[in-house]
Each structure stands twice: as structure tokens, then as C-alpha cells.
Structure 1
Amino acid sequence: MEEVQLQERYADPVPEALCIAPAAKVGDVSDAIDTPSLVLDLDAFEDNLRTMQVLAERHGVALRPHAKAHRCPEIALRQVALGAVGICCQKVTEAVPFVQAGLRDIHISNEIVGEPKLRLLAQLARKAHITVCADHAVALRALSAAMAGHGASVGVMVDVDVGQKRCGVQTPGEAVELAKLARALPGISFAGIQAYHGGLQHKRSLDQRQKACDKAARLVRRYVDALEQAGIACPVVTGGGTGTAVFDVASQLYTEIQSGTYAFMDTDYGGIDWGEALAFRHSLFLLGTVMSTPAADRAIMDFGLKSTSAESGAPRPVGWPGLRCVAVHDEHSILQADDAKNMPALGDKIRLIPGHCDPTFNLHDSVVALRGDRVEAIWAISARGLSR
């Protein structure tokens, strides 16, 4: 009886006066946006999309942007509308909002193990063209059984290790055997290979990245040659990323690249040597408010680790020379000024470039899209938190 009374007590709807208003509305000026909020400069964002699309098309390579960078269907739809062949997702659940939004060509750039994941994958495969990665015969047989059992089919990219030392088969011979198995089993087909090396993306020097990419490309060539010698066509070689894109498209090995961060940039990618071949603008910012000024050279912001990642470094203030973010706590971030004369005031709003865009997107329900100083749209980050 007591439990029923408690349920009734807390079942009352929240009074309208207590409802949380959205952080922004279309038409608002940027100063009216509540904080902390993730904001996107549409002009810079659209320039970045065009830059990467043109690079890929110039070399006859398909662009398959990685949606794990943003987890926002509206962004993916704009990339595809501009010419991308489809998108990548990293997890099965992550792909669901994109399929629901109308994306029909998705590569899940990861191994899929476990009955719940395989069951959901089969449901997605009946609505869209799906490819997945595999690097083990046991996983491949389970994938086949699940697809055949649910009346679905997926393409298989044999995952090959080209130096990342994460997932992927270790020898060309293993790749050939898995490709043969994928061609023989029901519910699946051999679609190509995935050759991704995330560590190369962040090498600081342009020359270092080029040499590392050349080494990885030689490994990729061994896998492609082994498949050809076995009489197995390899229609797709997918991989690459933002930091290595200029080398990936010129390698004449990759048929598609999986760049993701290029659309937004962050402090980590912003700190590498890009040379003259490629240039992207920072389009993604964390908007915060100064909530305390306890010292002449110190300001406390109203965001912390629940609004921005810090594993790749603290976010960097924009437009405030000599102002640095020196600490990120759960709910606060500390800005330190080299000169107290260049200090924001209580209530000032500051834009900061995230240290790493992918996990920062995952901390927000939406991104506020700005055209100049006005809110043009608010896009849901529908796949945030979907990590199974």
C-alpha cells in the first residue's frame, strides 16, 4: 500500500513553471544561448565538408565520413547530400538513429560479437545496406548464422592490422581464408578489407605522417595482392582518416576514406602540421559562461567534464589572447590569464575549441548551428550514449 501511495505521489506531472527551457531557439543571437552548449559555425563547417569532398573526388576515392565523430543524423545527411557514399558507425546501436533518419549505406567499422548485437544488426540490415568488420572465423560463422536466421544479409570487410595493434588479422593468409569463408557462408558476402591505423592520424609532423602512411600502404598492398593471387576480387579498401587523408587518397590503394573530425576540428588535430595540401577551419565550439572571478587573473567557467572531454587536452579559449584553460573538473573549468588586464568579466560568454570532438559531442543532446551570430538550427545528437 505504501509503495502505491509513493508511486501516486511522484506520478504528478512536472508543473509547467519547472520545465527546463531549451538552451536556444532558432533566431536567437549567440549571446542568448544558455550554457554550457555545443555550437557549430555553419560557414566553417560547410567549408570543411566541401574541402574533403573535393579532395576525395579529385582522386576518384569515395568519402565515407565517420559518424562516431558527431553522432548527429542531420550532419550525416548533409555529408551524403554533398557526395559522400554513406557513413561509418562504430557500434550497432549507434547506427539505429541514422537508419531511422534515412541513411541507407552504413559501414560498422568494428567487430560485432554477441547475440543481442547480431539480432539488432539483422534488423538494421533489412532496412539498409550494411557492412561490418570481422577478423575471426568464429565471429564470422556467428554473423552468418544470425543473418541467415533472421532473413537478412550483410557485407563483410575483413579487418586487417596495418600497425595499430588493435583489431585485425595479422597475415595476408588469414585474410584470404576469412574472405573465402565469407564467400561460402549464407547471409554474408565478402565486400573488401578495412585497413585503418588511428595512431597515424595524430603524428605531429607532416613528414612523419607521410612516412608512416607509406609503410602502412605497403602492408595494405600485401593484403590486396594476396587476395588477387587467390582469385578473390577486393572491391573495397576502406580506412584512412582526417590526419592522413591527403596521403590515403593519393595511395591508389584505398577506394574510400573514413575521415570524421575534418568537419569540426579540435585542439588535437589543430596542433598537427598540415602543410599546404589541406586546410580545415575550427567549426565546433563549446560555449560557456564565466560564473566566478575569484582572483584578478582567474575565471571559473560553468562547464566541466560533463560537457567536454579532456583526455586529449583542455579546451582552448578563442578570442582571448593569453587566456588558458588550466583545469577541467566535474562541473567547473578554470581559466588562467597571463595578464590580468585581459580577463573576462563575470557573465561573459566564451567560445572554446574542444580538445577532442568525438567524446565531447557524446556529452550533449544537441548542437546549436549558427550562421554568423544567429541560431539557424538546433540538431539532435540522437546517437549519443549508444555504445553497444
Structure 2
Amino acid sequence: MRVEDIDTPALLVDVAIMEENLRWMQAKADRAGVKLRPHTKTHRTPALARRQVELGAHGITVAKLGEAEVMVEAGLSDIFIANEIVGPLKLTRLRRLARRARLAVAVDSPVQVHALAETFASEAEPLDVLIDVDTGDARTGVQPGQPVLELARLVSAAPGLRLRGIYTHEGHSYGAPDVAAVQAVFRRSQEDMLATAALLRQHGLPVEEISVGATPALLVADILPGITEIRPGTYIFLDAAQANLLGTYARCALTVLTTVTSRPTPERVVLDAGVKALTAFVRGAGVCQTHGYGVLKGLPHLHLEKLSDEHGVFTALPGRAWAIGDRVEIIPNHACPTCNLYDRIYGVRDGRVVNAWPILARGESR
């Protein structure tokens, strides 16, 4: 099957670039002596998660319980759900799933600890727990230091639970103004985590895992000694945001294949891919700032300027013709929500389709 035989809009992955990205991050983890536990929320595709494990990953990370259920059904057996699991419906599902695979979950409140302990107290095996630490992202998580120690004591004393360690996400690295600032964010985050782990150990609490990770930081910054695990996600494909950090689109494996469906004026080019095919996601500031709603592959200064539900619009370059029926590939601003819009990813090599991977965890956000 040739790429020309695929109807549009469609999600493509350049297999050679993807494999290079996978091997690059695995090699970085190996050099640092840390585990790579990739965040599969980016692709939500069990076949790609298995490939990451084949190349050396120590299990996977997911964002949602629904993703974990799909991954376990597909044969993945070592999963960290990097999120707080709340409510009796989800806790029942979690208990059922923990009987089939090695799981760990996040906590940042005594409320969650008590609910998990009540759910797992009578289980044959304890549930592993990692404490969510806010090192600057200002999302979930307790503050480093004493607040982590207090929560860790509660976890360690709770029936049915086992304290595995601590984790953080340096999401604020996306908004750092330049590469040096990204590196500083990552260093400070790791230092806070290492100091917090030392505090826990001083008080007799085991810290098996010190887990960190955000793709921007791991692309350009060093991993400090003492860190045990990294959890990048977007590195498998990269996207326009990561390309702006790196200064090149050459490592972007993911594109949306579109067709020119209208040329209503000499300047205006209209594609058959809008919000439902690309998302309207933009990063408004920082070294990962994106411009427009996607970048034309091979034309890094040409962006989609407008999206509606079914259409994307850009302005033609002088002297460059796009005819109705022409195909155009768009590098999305953000790979993760883009993948969630499709049923499958077409793996492409040298203009031919070599794989069609089903995105089995698409929509599994519960």
C-alpha cells in the first residue's frame, strides 16, 4: 500500500524517524543508569508500547485507568498510572486490574491514601504508591520536603499499600524562555526530588523510585545521579512544540496527511483537516511556543492560520502552487491530543505503508 492510497485526513508516522527517537531516549537512559518508563498517553497504542518495552523500557506509564486497562488487555504487565485515582467506581476497577498486572498509582492527599487502603487492605498483594511532588508545574502534587514526608509516613502505615517512591513532572519546562532555562528547571526539580528522597530515608522510609520526566527537559538537559527513572512521552514522535525547542523539524515523525479541497482565492489554500483532525492546541509562550495550528512538513515557516471543524487554511507562498487534490502533510503542534482523534496510525517508510497500528486506548479517558 502506498501513501497515495490512504484517504485523508489520516495520521502518519515516519517509522525510521520514530525508531531513531526511541533508540535515542533509551540510550540516554542507559548512559545515566536509569529506567525508562515511557508515558504512553502520547500514542495510546499498545503495539507502540510493546515496541518501547522491546527496546529496553522498564514498563510503561499511563495517564488514565482506562488506558491501563487497554494496555493490560494487550499484554503489558508493568504500569504506573501517573494520576490520582478517585471514587468508588474507579477504585473497584483498579482493584480488579491490580490482580492481573503490576500496578502503581499516584497520591497527593491523605483522602486518596485512606480510600486506597480501604480498597486494598484485604488483597493478597499490596498496591504500590508513588507520592506526587509539585516541583513547579503547579498542577497536582504536594510540595517537596516535609509535606512529602508526612504523606509518605501515612502511606507506609496504611494496610494494603506499599510506598514505592516519589515522582514529579516538569511540565513548567514547556514555558521556559530558552534552552538554558529548561535545563535550570530540570536541575532544580531533580535537586528538590533528591533532597526529598534523602529526607524520607533519614526517617527510615524506603525510596525505591525517584521518578522524573518531561520530554523538553530530557531532550536538552542532563539526568542527575540518584534519579532512578524517567518518564518522557512525546519523545516517540516529537511535534511542532518540541521542534521549536530543538531548532529543527527533522526529528518530527508524526504528521497528519491532508488534501487540498478548495482554492477560493489565489492566496488561500483550504485543506480537509480542521479541529477534528488536528486539535486547536497552541502553546502561547516559552521555548516550545507554537505558531498557528500546525506546520507544513518541509516548509517550517508556513503554518496553518485558521481552523474550523473540518477545514484548515493557510496562505500560499508566492510562486508556489497548490492545486485542488494535492496532498499536504501537517506537523501537529501537540502529538498527544492529535493521536486521540484517530482510530489508527499508519507507519510509513519510503513512501509505502508498512504498518497500520490501531489506537486501542483512543477515548479511554475515564
Which category of TM-score, normalised to the shorter sequence, fits these structures?
over 0.9
In 1: Cα distance, 2:198 partner to 2:122 partner: 34
User: Does 1:220 find its partner at 2:193?
Assistant: yes
Shift of 1:322: 6.2
Mapped to 2, the partners of 1:246 and 1:372 lie a distance apart of 26
Of 66-75 and 219-228, deviating more is 219-228
Unaligned runs of 5+ in 1: 1-27
Partner SS state of residue 68, structure 1: coil
Structure 2 matches for 1:1-388, cutoff 5 A? 28-149=1-122, 153-245=126-218, 250-273=223-246, 281-312=251-282, 313-320=292-299, 323-339=302-318, 341-388=319-366
Cα distance 1:119–1:258, how it changes in 2: closer, same or farther (>3 A)? same
CA-CA distance at 1:247 after TM superposition:
6.5
Using the alignment, how far apart are the partners of 2:221 and 2:54 within structure 1?
23
TM-score after normalising by structure 1: 0.88
Kindly provide the amino acid, as one letter, of the partner of residue 29 in structure 1. R
**Take 2:234 and 2:278, find their aligned partners in 1: how far apart are those partners?**
16
Structure 1 residue matching 2:121: 3-state secondary structure: helix
> Compared with structure 1, are the counterparts of its residues 321 and 69 closer, same or farther at alpha carbon in structure 2 (3 Å cutoff)?
closer
Question: Counterparts of 2:326 and 2:171 in 1: how far apart (Å)?
Answer: 38
CA distance in 1, matches of 2:162, 2:250: 37
The alpha carbon displacement at 1:318 in A equals 1.3
Q: Is the Cα–Cα contact under 8 Å of residues 48 and 280 in structure 1 kept in the other structure?
A: no
User: Which residue of 1 is the match for residue 288 of structure 2?
Assistant: none
C-alpha distance in structure 1 between counterparts of 2:226 and 2:155, whole Å: 22
State the distance in 1 between where 2:253 and 2:349 align: 11
The letter of the residue matching 2:298 is G
The unaligned stretches of length 5 or more in structure 2 are: 283-291
Check conservation: 2:168, 2:211, Cα contact below 8 A: yes
Provide the secondary structure at the position in 1 that maps to 2:305.
Answer: strand
* Alignment CA distance shift 1:130-1:215 (3 Å): same
Distance 1:375 1:150 in 2: 46
3-state SS, counterpart of residue 141 of structure 1 = helix
Residue 319 and residue 249 in structure 1: after superposition, are their counterparts in 2 closer, same or farther (change >3 A)? closer
What is the deviation of 1:296?
A: 1.1
Offset at residue 172 of structure 1 (A) = 1.9
Alpha-carbon displacement from aligned partner over 1:319-361 (angstroms, at most 9, x marks no partner): 357643111111100021131x212110011111001000000
* Separation of aligned partners in 1, 2:87 and 2:161: 17
CA distance in 2 between partners of 1:324 and 1:206 (Å) = 23
Aligned length: 357
> Which residue identity is paired with 1:133?
A
Percentage of identical aligned residues = 38
| Deviation of the 1:372 alpha carbon | 1.3
Structure 1, 250-259 or 126-135: larger mean CA deviation: 250-259
- Give how far 1:150 is off: 5.6
Residues 131 and 157, structure 1, Cα contact 8 Å, conserved in 2: yes
Give 3-state SS (helix, strand or coil) of 2:278's partner: coil
Contact 1:322 1:342 in 2 (8 A): no
Measure, in 1, the Cα distance between the counterparts of 2:302 and 2:244: 17
Q: Distance in 2 between matches of 1:115 and 1:344?
A: 55
2:36 touches 2:57 (CA, 8 Å); kept in 1? yes
> Cα distance 1:248–1:167, how it changes in 2: closer, same or farther (>3 A)?
farther
Deviations for 1:84-119, whole angstroms, at most 9, x for unmatched residues? 001111111111111111111100001111111111
2-structure distance, mates of 1:115, 1:152: 20
- Distance across 2 between alignment mates of 1:323 and 1:274: 15
**Partner in structure 1 of residue 289 of structure 2:** none
Output the amino acid matched with 1:162.
T
